[in-house]
Amino acid sequence: MTTNSEFQWVLKGRCYKLGHDVWHAGGVVPNWIITGRHFDPQEIIPHLFEETDPGFHARCKPGDIIVTGKNFGMGPKMNGYIAMQALGLGLVCESMPFLAYRAAVGCGVRVLTDCVNVSEFCDSGDELEVNFRDGFFINHTRNIRREYPPLPDALMEIVELGGNAGWLRHWQAQQQAGSAAG
């Protein structure tokens, strides 16, 4: 599939650092967002990290990067990633349960996982630059540079297209264009 060469794979922004073992329910969004099946980003955004960092949604800016310890997003759900994608945030984790990673990709979040000890190389408020296509992580505040595993090629396409729904929309458009041409 053709993809979007204009897509912004490099994010520059402030670091928001979280610890290890953050559950999706409670840690990322309140549980009622999950059980109430709220998937509209505008409904979720005011509640992103509400229980751990009140007012986060008002302070963060597009390009800001959430850096986490191990096991981020336990109890994999999509709701928090929908809000992160809509806010233009990046996500860099020491590790995630695989299905949490899959949910983040499926929601179109720029995400790196298996970034060993990354939380030792930054603190909240540091100026970060992360290239999610190549896996480069730069902390401009501390002058630290690290390289981590990038997203696999097959998953970059999903993120570029805004997640699973965007990918399917693009696929369907191509099918229709193909049948019209044929």
Partner 1 sequence: MGMTAVEKVLAAKSGRASVKPGDVVSPEPDFIMIHDGVVMGAKRELDSLGITRLARPDKVLMVTDHDVIYGSARAAERGAFNRKAAAAWGVKNFFDVGRGGHGHIFPMESGLLLPGMFYFDNDRHATNAGAIGAFGFRIGTEITRVLATGTNWVMVPKTVRLTLKGRLQPGVYARDVGFHFAAMLKKDQLQADLDYRVLEYAGDLEQFGLSERAALCSTPTEIRAYGVFIPPSQAILEHARKKGQRPFTPVYSDADARFDADLTLDISRLEPQVSMPGSVENAVNISEIAGTPVDHAFIGSCGSGMWEDLVTAANILRGRRLAPNVRLFVAPGSEATNRRLAAEGLLGVFIEAGAVMLPPGCGPCNDAVIGPVHAGEISISTATNNNAGRFGAREAKLYLGSPATVAASAVTGKITDARSL
CB of 50 to partner 1, least distance (A): 22
CB of 103 to partner 1, least distance (A): 8
* Burial of 17 from C-beta contacts in 10 A (0-12 / 13-18 / 19+): middle
Contacts of 173 (CB under 8 A, 6+ apart): none
CB of 172 to partner 1, least distance (A): 5
Select 117 or 176, whichever has its Cβ closest to partner 1. Answer: 176
**Does residue 154 bind partner 1 (CB under 8 A)?**
yes
**Residue among 106, 108, 113, 118 that touches partner 1 (CB under 8 A):** 106
Stretch touching partner 1 by CB under 8 A, among 59-67, 84-92, 140-148, 169-177: 169-177
| DSSP for 91-147, written as a single string | EEES---HHHHHHHHHTT-EEE---TTGGGG--TT-EEEEETTTTEEEETTTTEEEE
Which residue(s) pair with 147 in the sheet?
Answer: 136
Which residues of this chain interact with partner 1, rule CB under 8 A?
78, 97-99, 102, 106, 152-155, 158, 164-165, 167-169, 171-172, 176
